[in-house]
Every structure is written in structure tokens, then in C-alpha cells.
Chains A and B, each alone.
Chain A
């Protein structure tokens, strides 16, 4: 798959302060989560990709096109939902979304049609003639999403889309993001500090810390790579003897509670080997769980990795 966003030595400074420091990498996922602690440079990276900031050094490419050389054509292919409240006052939502569509180049009639459709799609169909000023926070977030998708962009950049939403509205927002991702017609770059939102919507993450890339990985691959921790629940037979047999295979193990065994699989050992040992010792394996890394584990590992790398004097671009 071709990279969606490529970073090529990208550096951005505000005055004398370096915000993004020599970022290198590429993301290919259908939905990419942009993570990092406050002040890591997430919004600056988004703004740079949108052409709001000029890089001090290096460049970035979206869909293979340089952000500086092809700014206008790239902007036509991007939808952006800013973090902060952004709307045009004293204008009905349908007019607001239509105006945004027209600014993206849609003819007036098509813009109106798509504004209606986009607002129905995000769930604001019944409230589309109300002024955006009168909307609740959740409705304003949905209106921002509508203006970001109204022109049918190929890349949708969402900056903290679930900020300040109540649980039902948050679920609706995440559902919409997943639907757009699953439609296969647009890529999503989701910046959030809520790991759970990213975990629910994204298949790849880019973790920033102090203006550097702390991690860039595919979530599924990462989870698969960590399928070594296994928890077994057993019945009958000699559990201790079974555990010792597992140990003889070279696996580390620990007994937990009355019926559980936790173990770390070694290379060359298959699950079938565990079942064979259990059969030989007349033990029933009632449950076998892979302990998969949560995004939080990956994120924290990235943060630790970054610290270690920084201590070693590396450039901070770590691949998990």
C-alpha cells in the first residue's frame, strides 16, 4: 500500500523554539492515530500538513505530493476538523456547511445537496436550519465533522473529535469515524489524547513526544507480535506437574489462583504442544487467553523507549 503521509526530515520552529524535530517516517493505515502528551507537537504537525506552517527544514508528502509544491491540489483532497470551536456565527448549519463546500470548489447546487446529505449523515438533519451558535457542544462537533466531509475528501484530519462529548455523542462520533474508515473511500488521521478512542478507530499509530516520533506502528501487527503471554484455566489432574512440564519446554510460568497458569511462550513452541501435555496429564484446558498489549501498553512503552533512546543520544525515531 502506498504511504498516505510521508515525513522527510520535517522540522518546524516557532521563533527560536523547535516544535517538530527532524521527523522521518511514513504512515499507510486506513486510520492513523496521532498520539502524544500535551505539547508533543500533534497539532503543529497537523497544521504543517495543512500548510498553515512553513517547515524550517525537510518536507512532507500526502498521497505522494509535496505539501509545499502542491498545496492547493492537496487541500482539495483534505478535510479538517479543528480541535477548537470553529464555525461562522449567525448562520444556519446547512448554510455554513454549504459555504464550506462551495469554498472547496463545489458548485452552489451540488454544495447545497451535499450539505443536506452530510448533515443527515452525521445526525444533524433535524437541526440543520438552526444557527450553529445555538448548538450544544456535541452538535457543534458533529457540525465540524460535516464541514470536514462535505466535499468528499480523501484524507480527513480530525483533531480531538471527541473532546467534551457526553458518552452517547462520543459513541456516535466514533461510530461515524469507523464507518468512514470502513467505507474505504477516505483515510483518517485522528489526533487524540484519549487512547481508547484511537484504539477503537485506528489501525496504525504515530506517537509524538517533544517534537519527535516516539513510535510508529501498525496496531494489529504490534498486538500479534506480543502474542506470547498466555493465561490458561485448567480443571482436574495435577496442575503443578503440568506447569513443570511446561517449564521443561523452556517456557517461563507462574501459578495464579487455584486453576490458572500464566506463561510466556518461547519460539518454536506451539499451542498444540500445551494441549498435548495437558492430554498426557489428564488435565482439561477450559480457557486459553492471549494477553494482548493494549494501546496504553504500546503508548507507555513508546514513551519509555523515547526516554531510553534520548538518553542514548539517538534521533528519537523508534520503531516498536
Chain B
């Protein structure tokens, strides 16, 4: 031990494996995150719907309860792809609000206090730093999205039987992929904003703005040009399309109606087409790549002064 009996010495004990060191960051950061009462309250609220969904699934399979309620829950709310898609969408938006609360201080606090050299002079790379910070968000959001989603799926499969499980196994993939895509997007956006905006409130506002402003702009584009391609710049609409695609509910034809006098040609049938799914995936990938680029520019041990 280095400082036994008030003297300096080297550490000669066991070392942790290098691959596991990035996990140190979420362990410390999660403790900090849960110090916020607002965050903790919202985090607890995020478990209400999974509980409600679990009760609904249970009611589906409990004959006594169905008889007691005198309603046919099976017909009223079938447990199918729409049920799980709604779950992923609702929890996804709650995840967004959790990110707005927890994400902004993650990197900005280290940058504001020049802590990056302390991380990066150790056997700890920039990639591990980013991975560690990402995993804070990923762990938190996973706990309210795909983890309870898969638990609900497992509960339904258990109560319904193996036949339902094998014919609907693809839904578990949709739950996981749909949630993890959203989580990675949110985490990267939150870190990128946190790295470039030092003030927490401004960073939270920026994160909200990144979803709201392009949505409004996209809606204007859609209405002006009678199209749905404006959804390509709206992160919310992009992920909604991806979720629909994963759960088999994506339809390109968003709307069809008859309008009059476009350039004096009389009545015209207008067909509004959603952007293709591949374009939605591509846009999400581009946004993620842009976030990684922004992080690579900012996460350095030293400040670049031009």
C-alpha cells in the first residue's frame, strides 16, 4: 500500500480487468443522478404503466377476475403487437423526459471543472469515457423501456402458453430493438449537448428544442408542400415510423384526399407518403454519427484554443 504509516509506496495488489473499467463511471454517476428528488419521482412514475400493463395481462388470463368485472377484457384490450407498441411508445416518451433531467450534467460538469485530464491520463481512453457516460443513460432508460417490456412479454407468454410465444417471438425483438434504438439516440444526443453546452438549464432546453423545433419545421414543410417528407427532420416522427415498422404497422400512405384547384387542374387526388423506413433508419444513423463526431471534437484531455 502506498501510504502506509504515512509513507509513500506503490500499489502492488490486484487490478481490475481493463474492459470493465468504463463501468466505474455509471456506478458513480447513477448515485449522483438519484440525488435529484425530481428525477427520482419521475423515475418511479415511469413504472406505473408497466404495472398497469402487467395487471391487464393478468386480467386477461384470470377467469374469476373476468367474471367479477363482467367485461370482456380480451375483446376490449387485446394483447397483441399494438399493445406492446403502445407500451414502447409511452415508455419511450417518458424516457425522453428522464434524459432531459439526467443527461445535461453528465459531461458538462466534467468539462466545467477540467476533470477530463484526470480521467484521460489514466489507462482509460476517450472511447471508454464516452461509453461509461452513455451507459448511465442506457442503464436508466433500459430499466423503464425494454426490460419491463420484455418482462411483460414473458408474463404474457407464460400465461398464454408456448404456442403464443413461438408465433409472437418477433415482438420481443421489436420491443428490444425499438427501445434500444431510441435509448442510444437519446443518450448520444444528451451527451453531445452536455459536451457543448455547459449550463444545465440551457442544455436541457437545447435537448427539448432538438425535438420540438425540427418537428414544428417538419410540420410546416409537410403542410406547405403537401408531403410527409418533413418527418425526416423530426426525430419524434422518425422514431415513431421505426416503431411502427418494427411492430408491423407501418404504412407509407399516410393520407389520401381530394383537393380542388391545384394550378387550375380541377379536383386532384393527393396521396401523402411517409418517408420510407430505410430513410428513417438512415436519418437516425446520421444523427447518431453527428453526435459521435461532436463528442470526439469535445472530449479531449486539453482544451483546443484557436
Contacts and interface: CB of A to CB of B under 8 A. Distances in A.
Contacts of B121: 50-52, 75, 78, 80
Interface stretch (A24-32, A83-91, A297-305, A308-316): A83-91
Contacts, number: 131
A76 B122 CA distance: 6
B114 A76 contact: no
A102 B16 contact: yes
Interface residues of A, number: 48
Interface stretch (B3-11, B201-209, B281-289): B3-11
Nearest to A151: B11
Nearest to B304: A14
Contacts of A50: 117, 121, 301
Contacts of A104: 122-124
Instruction: Give the interface size class of chain B.
Output: 35 or more
Contact of B1 (A75, A82, A114, A179): A114
Interface string A96-120: 0001101111110010011001101
Interface in A229-243: none
Contacts of A107: 13-16
B11 A114 contact: yes
Contacts of A80: 117-118, 121
Interface string B9-41: 111111110100100100010001001000000
B10 A82 contact: no
Nearest to B108: A89
B298 to A, nearest CB: 14
Contacts of B115: 86-88
Contacts of B4: 117
B113 interface: yes
Given A89-B112, A102-B24, A103-B24, A52 B15 contact: no
B3 A118 contact: yes
A42 B2 CA distance: 28
B109 interface: yes
Given A106-B16, A110-B11, A73 B123 contact: yes
26 contacts: A47-B302, A50-B121, A50-B301, A76-B123, A80-B118, A86-B115, A86-B117, A86-B118, A87-B113, A87-B115, A88-B109, A88-B110, A91-B28, A102-B24, A103-B124, A104-B124, A105-B16, A105-B21, A110-B11, A117-B3, A117-B4, A120-B3, A121-B6, A151-B122, A152-B10, A154-B10
Interface of B: 1-4, 6-16, 18, 21, 24, 28, 32, 35, 109-110, 112-115, 117-124, 300-302
